[in-house]
Structures are given as C-alpha cells and as structure tokens.
Chain A
Amino acid sequence: MADTEGGDVRLDPIEAWLRAAVADAERRGLPQLRPLLEGVAQSTRQLRAAEWNDYVPTGRPVRRSPEGDLSAEALGAKAEGGKAEGGR
C-alpha cells in the first residue's frame, strides 16, 4: 500500500493510520483490537471511496491554494457541478 511521490516512499494514509493505531493499541495492552481496527480500516476505505466524497480530494492529487489550503475555487466548481454533498 505504498505510493511514491517526489522520490519518497509514502504509505497509503489509511495503511499508515492502521499501523499507528495497532501500535498504540498494543502499547496500551489491547492487542485484541487489531482485527477490529483492520475492519475499521476497510470500512474507512469504503467511506472515502463513496461518490459523495468526490469533492474531497482523497488519495488523488491535491490542488492547493498558495496558502496550502484546499482550493476553495476547485471545491466551488465541483459544487456548482452538482456533485457537492455527494450525489445523485
């Protein structure tokens, strides 16, 4: 689940989250959370892939404003195109 960008190897964000969550759970003496957290990760992938998230730039190249925030212009264009809040 790794990706490369600019020569750096980057973990898929959900995979990175899962690794951190499992490590934290084990540190807290809760290793039995691992399969549950793997289930949450699977569910989170589904959530982020849902069509109503099309205007949220998940896992795709992000257009950023000069300040580094998400481009309000891009979001507005999506909303005007009828895809804001997901949907059909």
Chain B
Amino acid sequence: MTPLHDLSISELAPRLAAREVSSLEVTEACLSRIATDNGRVNAFITVLGDEARQDARRADAEIAAGRRRGPLHGVPISLKDLIDLSGVPTTAASRVLDGHVARADAVVVARLREAGTVFLGKCNLHEFAFGTTSEDSAFGPVRNPWDGARSAGGSSGGSAAAVATGMGLASIGTDTGGSIRIPAAVCGCVGLKPTTGELPTGGIVPLSWTLDHVGPLARSVADAWLLFHAMAGTPNPAALALDRPSAGGLRLGLPRPYFLDILDDAVRAAFERACAQLTRAGVTVADRAVPHAADTGTVYLHLQLPEASAYHAPMLESHPELYTPPVRQRLEMGRYVMAEDYARAGVGARALTREVDAALEGVDALVLPTVPIVAPPLGKTSLVFGGAKHPVRALMLRLTQLFDVTGHPAITLPCARSADRLPVGLQLVGRRGRTAELLLLAAAIERELAGQD
C-alpha cells in the first residue's frame, strides 16, 4: 500500500472525502518525511509544522461537518520561498530579504487557502530565482533526491525535491526561463508553466515581469490540473475531463532543428524511446520547425537581465554584499543592457511567438525533451559531450526558455530514467490560452508513457 506521503492528490482526495484518512494523518506523514529527508536534500527553508497541523485539523473538522471545499481540501503542499504566505518570512533564498515577513498571501496562495490546502512550508531555490541549479542559495544548495552530488535543477529546486521525496504532495513554483520544468524534469515530477498571464503573480518576488509565471509541481498531470484550476480561481474543475481513453489519434509536432541538436546520450535515447512508444500507441509525430529558435537565448537575455536589474537596483545599491556573488554579478550585468536592445528583444519575442504559433498549426501540441542533460553535478559550470564544451546554465535553459518568451503553455512529464537512474523529462507545448487543453492531452500522454523506464 502506498504510504500517505507518496500518494497523488487524485488518489488522496476521495479518501479524505470519505474520511478513510484524515488531513492530519497525511500532514504528519509529510512532516515526518521532512524530518528524516530534509537534511539530505535541503529542500525546505522554513517548515511550518504547528501551522500545518492546525490547518489540517481545521480541514478535518470542516470535512466532518459536511463542508468539504473540493479535491484540495486538507491536502498538504509547499511553496517556493519567493511566494508570499501571510505572516511567514519570504526569503527568496537570499540574505538580502533577512527580516522580511509577508503581510498578505500572494494571490494564488489566497486561492489555494480558499480551496483548503495545508501549507507545510517554504522551499529552497536558486537565490531570487536567478539560476537553474539551486546552488546559489543563502541556505545552501538543494541536492537531487536521486543523487545527492547532483543538482535538483532550478530555480524551483526545493519544490521539485520536496515533491519527489514525499515532503508534501505538490509544490507551487515559478518559471521565468524554465524554473518549474527544469527541476521537475531532473527530479522526476510533473511541472506546468501555464500561458503567460493566466495565473496572477501578485505577491511573488519578481525576476522578470514580462517572463514570470507561477505554476504547480506535482506527481501527476491530474494533480497539476487540480492545482492549476484552483490557482486560476476555479477550484472544482470537472475531473472527468481528464479521462480520455488513450493517446491514439493525437498529433504532435516535433521541432527537430535546434531542439534535438544538442542532447546528451541518455536524454536522446529516452526521448526517442518515448516518441516510438507514442507512435506505437497511435500518436502521429510530425516534423515541425521554429526557424529562429537559435535566437531565443539572446532575446531572453535582453528582456530578462534589465528587468531583473530594475527590480534589484535599490538593493544592489544598498546591500550588494548580501547577494551570492554569481547572482550579484548577473544582476549588475543587466544594468548595462541598452534600452534599444531591450526594445529589439521585444520585437524578437513577438516574432518567435508567431513562429511557435505556426509550428502548432495542424498539430495538437509540440513534443520535445525538457532539459538536454540529466541532473548536472553540483559545482560544474560546463559539461563536455558530443565533442564540445557547453555551459551548464545555457544547457539547462535551452529547451524551456522559448516558451516563457512566447507565452505558450508547457508541461514536463517524467518519461524515463538514465542508466544511473536519473530522471528524464518530456515536454509538451500547447496553444496560448489553452492550458486546460494541454493538460488533457498531457494526461493521455502520461498514461501511454507510464511504466516506461
């Protein structure tokens, strides 16, 4: 029998509703897991044991009184520690925010609270979400649950590690260049970046106003569906909608140029196996292209750097020594980007958006790997494979950041393990404004890939 802390929300919810198990029991199971595992992976910055127990007891009482709010009622989850939770410190994994306590819930937190979720604590991350490995944190690096010498990905590394180890049934993260999908992929979770603007980012420390997204990291697409709808303000979506019988008949577009050019052997093999399995299941996989995909990095840089620097300028002036050196240097670099190039990048973003829209014509979604490599060793800044040396940061962002720039919804699903048992993710990209449709499709793909290893 699956331990309580390892259940999916979709498995737990009916048991909570039937009062076969209490929210307090599940919350205690997760807190116990945090007590035993957090020292190993360093996923949490703040653990809210007493508060979580209190919320769980309240949920149990309401459910017992016939006032069940929906499928998330009594479900214990965590938050990336740049998302405000009223009365609790928001650190953004930085000494810069020492002493800062949130005065109100972030908008999505208020909606989750209304849906009855229980908040276990705040998760570690790359400082101010400005990195892809969760190594530069004032609270120490997050370690990959499957190999403690490797990164958990980032910037929502603590969230992904928590979900992968049973320290909560799900977590809420943010994604500016891939910060939900990257850690979800390398830790073996589902991670959803919705369409730009679908979920409000009020009450969340920004990295880049035009590129920031908030979304769930979870154990299944069905769980991501529940959390997405709760954060969108529709906490009781029709669960039946996810019951598509099979993936047969779906049409996926595979953008080979650029996206499959640089992959390590383990990811390439896993992705090819997944595509072959989907084809056998009746999914059509057709070639597509995003002609200027190779320009994504430069567009991203000229948007993200100056926006991050604009937010941080007062703190860079008053307390520069409180940043970790790599994050401070990147923020300082952004102060030199010229306004005309920021404007050019905006034009580039619109061009790329049209190209992704065009690539989606005639297919239900795009399919591609999520990260070109498995979790990198902590401390590595570059990796050599395929006869070339690649910066880790560029590799990690390579396949995800385009969809932050264009705004298309994207989700990563676990699709395989490497020979070293490290998770590999498969990414699906849908039409703008159609995140719910992407989730339906992803649920069908998830079922087809279940059991692949």
Contact = CB atoms under 8 A, between A and B. Distances in A.
A40 B344 contact: no
Nearest to A86: B351
A36 B337 CA distance: 12
A37 B336 contact: yes
A25 B332 contact: yes
B196 to A, nearest CB: 18
Nearest to B299: A47
B292 A50 contact: yes
Contacts of A25: 332, 336
A86 B344 CA distance: 10
Interface residues of A, number: 24
B348 A47 contact: yes
Nearest to B334: A40
A47 B329 contact: no
Nearest to B338: A17
A53 B329 contact: no
A44 B351 contact: no
A50 to B, nearest CB: 5
A32 B291 CA distance: 35
B297 interface: yes
B326 to A, nearest CB: 10
B350 interface: yes
Which 6 residue pairs are nearest across A and B when measured between Cβ atoms? A86-B351, A52-B351, A21-B336, A43-B298, A47-B298, A46-B298
24 contacts: A17-B336, A21-B336, A24-B336, A33-B329, A33-B333, A36-B333, A37-B333, A40-B336, A40-B337, A43-B298, A44-B302, A47-B299, A47-B344, A47-B345, A50-B292, A50-B298, A50-B348, A53-B344, A53-B347, A53-B348, A56-B347, A85-B347, A86-B348, A87-B354
